[in-house]
């Protein structure tokens, strides 16, 4: 669940490590030129410090415009020295030895946070992260299911990974999380819509008294019944599903595929791959959106064709019925004579 110390001496983020990491951002053919002319750390927006045996975070104050920071696969024990990185949008602290969530107060623009595979036992100290959309805290030491309620304050949270925590063994786990976080799109790498469907037919008597709180009952009454009746959100998802393009209108697919892909970080060390890693996500999302738009267009086309068919069928049936009534009426009139 956490990274152990090995024979390599633990590191602190010093000037030499930072300089080397920045230089690695550049393609090999222009790296020497950039090194010779000097690199202004204020211009750096992404920094990768993965797999460097870092024990303590330090010396990052110069990167005041940093938006993406990778500190995964180290031996970090404490979240600290990040207060100056106020423009951070993406922070990866997965695969470390962190025990407490702290030191994130100034990162108010953070949208994607990974604390996967650490030693955290409580979800806390994240109140200022109101822009949070993706949160991964799987494979930690979370034992109290009620801690999930803390995440209700994040109105933009759409992707959540909790898998691998002790409370996931609770038979009420899935129901409890979805009930308290009804806006989730992905939970533990699965579409919440599938989970919601199963919950919508879940007998109320099986919910269990231990987690049958007043809030949960209210949510069950308002959301489950609305889902059965057909809410606008459900109808929209049904349309996308019928068109075979559900959740392709954005980064949902990419985020779910690469949320915990630790191997992708290793690719950045290969020559020329750094640029690809920066452009690939936007390209992937663009392809998804093109598929989404094409799928909807073809769906509308199919719907129009089906509509035309039934309209023609209705007209033919109506004409046949009128013709049949006319024949019967003529027959009856002849017999009356």
Encode pLDDT of 100-113 as tens digits.
999 999 999 999 99
CB atoms within 10 A of CB 269: 12
Domain that holds residue 266: 230-337
Answer yes or no: is pLDDT of 299 > 60.
yes
**Same-domain status, 4 and 101:** yes
Whole-angstrom CA distances from 235 to 49, 122, 178, 193, 220 are 44, 37, 19, 12, 19
In contact, 262 and 72? CB cutoff 8 Å:
yes
Tokens 């100034």 identify what position? 106
Residue 266 lies in a domain: yes
pTM comes to 0.61
Largest CA distance in the chain: 114
**Same-domain status, 11 and 94:** yes
**Same-domain status, 330 and 243:** yes
Q: Mean pLDDT score of the chain, rounded to an integer? A: 80
If you average pLDDT over residues 169-173, what whole number do you get? 88
For 253, which DSSP code? H
| Confidence band, pLDDT 50/70/90 cuts, at residue 266 | low
In contact, 250 and 156? CB cutoff 8 Å:
no
Instruction: Note the pLDDT of residue 300.
Output: 87
**Same-domain status, 132 and 237:** no
Answer yes or no: is pLDDT of 279 > 60.
yes
Residue 108 lies in a domain: yes
- Model confidence over 47-57: pLDDT tens digits? 999 999 999 99
Answer yes or no: is pLDDT of 228 > 70.
no
**Same-domain status, 162 and 36:** yes
Q: Which stretch of 83-97, 179-193, 207-221 has the lowest confidence by average pLDDT?
A: 207-221
If you average pLDDT over residues 46-69, what whole number do you get? 94
Residue 203 lies in a domain: no
| Confidence band, pLDDT 50/70/90 cuts, at residue 92 | very high
Instruction: Note the pLDDT of residue 99.
Output: 98
If you average pLDDT over residues 120-143, what whole number do you get? 97
Answer yes or no: is pLDDT of 136 > 80.
yes
More confident residue, 209 or 298: 298
Q: What share of the chain is helix, strand, coil (3-state, %, to 5)?
A: 45, 10, 45
Residue 188 lies in a domain: no
Residue 43 lies in a domain: yes
Residue 193 lies in a domain: no
The 3-state DSSP class for residue 268 equals coil
Answer yes or no: is pLDDT of 230 > 80.
no
Which CATH number is 50's domain given?
A: 3.80.10.10
User: How far apart (Å, rounded) are the C-alpha atoms in residues 253 and 255?
Assistant: 6
If you average pLDDT over residues 132-156, what whole number do you get? 95
| Confidence band, pLDDT 50/70/90 cuts, at residue 6 | low
Instruction: Note the pLDDT of residue 5.
Output: 53
| Confidence band, pLDDT 50/70/90 cuts, at residue 4 | low
More confident residue, 102 or 23: 102
**Same-domain status, 100 and 243:** no
Beta strand spans in 87-189 (E): 90-92, 112-114, 134-136, 159-161, 186-187
For 153, which DSSP code? G
**Same-domain status, 243 and 312:** yes
Domain C-terminal end among 127, 145, 169: 169
**Same-domain status, 23 and 145:** yes
- Model confidence over 176-189: pLDDT tens digits? 898 889 889 899 98
Residue 68 lies in a domain: yes
Instruction: Note the pLDDT of residue 200.
Output: 36
CB atoms within 10 A of CB 321: 10
Question: For residue 125, which of 100, 148, 154, 108 has the smallest C-alpha distance?
Answer: 100
More confident residue, 274 or 172: 172
Percent of the chain with pLDDT over 90: 39
Instruction: Note the pLDDT of residue 58.
Output: 92
Name the domain count of the chain.
Answer: 2
Domain C-terminal end among 131, 148, 169: 169
- Order of strands across the sheet with 186-187? 46-48, 68-70, 90-92, 112-114, 134-136, 159-161, 186-187, 190-191
User: How far apart (Å, rounded) are the C-alpha atoms in residues 312 and 306?
Assistant: 10
Residue 32 lies in a domain: yes
Domain C-terminal end among 169, 191, 212: 169
CA 32 to chain CA mean position, Å: 38
Answer yes or no: is pLDDT of 287 > 80.
yes
């Amino acid at each position: 669940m956490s990274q152990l110390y090995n024979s390599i001496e633990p590191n602190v983020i010093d000037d030499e490590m930072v300089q080397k990491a920045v230089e690695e951002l550049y393609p090999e053919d222009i790296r020497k030129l950039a090194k010779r002319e000097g690199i202004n750390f204020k211009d750096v927006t992404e920094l990768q410090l993965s797999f460097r045996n870092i024990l303590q975070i330090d010396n990052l104050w110069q990167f005041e415009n940093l938006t993406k920071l990778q500190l995964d696969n180290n031996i970090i024990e404490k979240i600290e020295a990040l207060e100056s990185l106020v423009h951070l949008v993406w922070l990866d602290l997965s695969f470390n030895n962190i025990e407490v969530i702290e030191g994130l107060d100034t990162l108010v623009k953070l949208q994607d946070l990974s604390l996967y595979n650490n030693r955290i036992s409580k979800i806390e100290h994240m109140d200022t992260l109101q822009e949070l959309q993706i949160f991964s805290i799987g494979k930690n030491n979370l034992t109290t299911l009620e801690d999930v309620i803390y995440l209700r304050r994040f109105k933009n949270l759409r992707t959540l990974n909790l898998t691998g925590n002790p409370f996931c063994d609770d038979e009420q786990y899935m129901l409890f999380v979805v009930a308290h976080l009804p806006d989730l799109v992905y939970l533990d790498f699965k579409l919440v819509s599938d989970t919601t469907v199963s919950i919508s037919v879940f007998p109320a008597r099986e919910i269990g008294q231990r987690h049958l709180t007043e809030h949960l009952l209210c949510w069950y009454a308002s959301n489950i019944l609305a889902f059965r009746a057909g809410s606008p959100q459900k109808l929209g998802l049904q349309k996308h599903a019928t068109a075979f393009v559900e959740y392709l209108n954005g980064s949902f697919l990419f985020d779910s595929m690469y949320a915990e892909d630790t191997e992708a970080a290793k690719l950045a060390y290969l020559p020329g791959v750094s640029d690809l890693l920066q452009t690939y996500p936007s390209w992937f999302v663009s392809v998804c959106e093109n598929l989404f738009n094409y799928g909807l267009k073809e769906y509308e086309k199919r719907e129009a064709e089906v509509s035309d068919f039934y309209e023609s069928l209705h007209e033919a049936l109506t004409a046949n019925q009128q013709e049949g009534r006319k024949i019967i009426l003529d027959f009856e009139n002849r017999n009356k004579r």
